[in-house]
């Protein structure tokens, strides 16, 4: 069976997700792989910038505005990386790892 | 060769073929096909073609999605043509963005099951059926609530939801760049 690759865009034409199976707009495997590489790269940049591991200047120019916006959204939703609230369950799990 | 021997051989073959046709028509009927009285081998192809693929049981579709950005929920266009009776969402735990996960969530005929952070397997009663948005069908992990809801014959929503049973914008439950695997189906 041939795998179907798809991409989902919002009303503004911004990529929301890629996937396999039904739904979205059909794309080629090469297009899928290219979009996946971009998604993973941006996610890593967001993660590193959020964690303070890199500076905004380290992010590729063409990604910088989006990455900074996503980091700001994450800070608004979850707080600064060093100030996150954790549940008792998560705290217990952390303690189990070190004790 | 004596004429009787030739005639007997042909009759034997006709009887064998007729028995095979009758057996095939009976098998079609056993599979749920409509077999009109008087059906012959001429009708076999049409009768077999009318049998649904899979012959009943479970019909399901599956796929994956990888979000371009963190999101509270995501709508999958499953295209089943019928409202699903079960759905599964599973996150690939080998990817780095699993700080609140991995998780798996299943809604099966009114029960919801969930695995969170690889620590436990739990079953919860649904607060609604799979088609409802409020209240949602959810697996409550304490701080984070993963949910399956709003299923229709064409689409289903997987997501993250606040415990107040409303779709929330507080937090990001589905992670960008992490593959999610889904299965949606219904029982005949």
| Residue of A81 and B180 predicted with greater confidence | B180
Question: At residue B1, does pLDDT exceed 60?
Answer: no
Confidence band, pLDDT 50/70/90 cuts, at residue B54: low
What's the pLDDT at B13?
A: 82
Count Cβ atoms below 10 Å from residue A28 Cβ, excluding itself: 9
The answer to whether residues B118 and B109 touch, using CB atoms and an 8 Å cutoff, is: no
Structure tokens at B125: 């009663």
Which residue in A has a C-alpha nearest to residue B76's C-alpha? A23
pLDDT-above-90 percentage for chain B: 15
Alpha carbons within 13 A on the beta-carbon side of B3: 0
pLDDT in tens, B96-120: 554 445 577 888 877 777 776 555 5
What's the pLDDT at A47?
A: 87
Alpha-carbon gap, residue A79 to A56, rounded angstroms = 18
CA B64 remoteness from chain centre: 14
The answer to whether the pTM exceeds 0.95 is no
Of B67, B96, B172, the CB nearest to A74: B172
Residue contact B176–A39, C-beta within 8 A: yes
The answer to whether residues B130 and B85 touch, using CB atoms and an 8 Å cutoff, is: yes
Whole-number average pLDDT of chain A: 86
Closest to B76 (Cα-Cα) out of A45, A23, A46, A16: A23
Segment (H or E) for B121: strand B120-125
pLDDT in tens, A64-77: 999 999 899 888 87
Question: At residue A90, does pLDDT exceed 90?
Answer: no
Residue contact A17–B79, C-beta within 8 A: no
Of A19, A23, A89, the CB nearest to B66: A19
Count Cβ atoms below 10 Å from residue B92 Cβ, excluding itself: 14
pLDDT in tens, A29-48: 999 999 999 999 998 999 89
- What ipTM is given for this predicted complex? 0.76
Residue contact B176–A43, C-beta within 8 A: yes
Which residue in A has a C-alpha nearest to residue B183's C-alpha? A21
Structure tokens at B108: 């099966």
Give phi and psi for A9, each to the nearest 5: -115, 150
| Length of chain B in terms of residues written | 188
Identify all chain B residues contacting A12, using CB atoms and an 8 Å cutoff.
none
Closest to B158 (Cα-Cα) out of B124, B177, B122, B184: B184
pLDDT in tens, B109-156: 777 777 765 555 666 666 677 887 655 676 665 555 677 888 899 999
What's the pLDDT at B135?
A: 56
Which residue in A has a C-alpha nearest to residue B69's C-alpha? A16
């Amino acid at each position: 069976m041939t795998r179907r690759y798809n991409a989902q865009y919002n009303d503004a034409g911004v990529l929301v997700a890629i996937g396999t199976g039904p739904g979205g707009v059909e794309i080629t495997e090469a297009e899928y792989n290219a979009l996946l590489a971009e998604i993973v790269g941006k996610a890593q940049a967001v993660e590193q910038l959020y964690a303070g591991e890199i500076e905004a200047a380290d992010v590729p120019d063409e990604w910088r505005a989006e990455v900074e916006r996503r980091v700001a959204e994450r800070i608004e939703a979850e707080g600064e990386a060093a100030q996150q609230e954790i549940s008792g369950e998560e705290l217990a799990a952390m303690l189990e790892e070190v004790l | 060769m004596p004429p009787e021997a030739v005639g007997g051989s042909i009759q034997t073959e006709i009887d064998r073929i007729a028995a095979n046709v009758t057996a095939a028509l009976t098998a079609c009927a056993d599979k749920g096909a409509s077999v009109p009285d008087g059906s012959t081998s001429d009708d076999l192809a049409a009768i077999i073609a009318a049998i649904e693929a899979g012959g009943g049981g479970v019909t399901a579709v599956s796929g994956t999605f990888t979000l371009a950005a963190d999101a509270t929920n995501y709508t999958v266009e499953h295209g089943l043509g019928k409202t699903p009776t079960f759905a599964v969402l599973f996150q690939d735990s080998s990817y780095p963005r699993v700080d609140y996960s991995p998780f798996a969530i299943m809604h099966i005929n009114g029960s919801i099951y969930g695995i969170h952070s690889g620590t436990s397997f739990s079953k919860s009663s649904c607060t609604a059926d799979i088609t409802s948005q409020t209240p949602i069908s959810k697996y409550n992990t304490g701080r984070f609530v993963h949910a399956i809801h709003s299923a229709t014959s064409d689409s289903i929503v997987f997501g993250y939801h606040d415990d107040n049973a409303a779709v929330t914008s507080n937090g990001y439950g589905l992670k960008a760049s992490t593959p999610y695997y889904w299965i949606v189906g219904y029982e005949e």
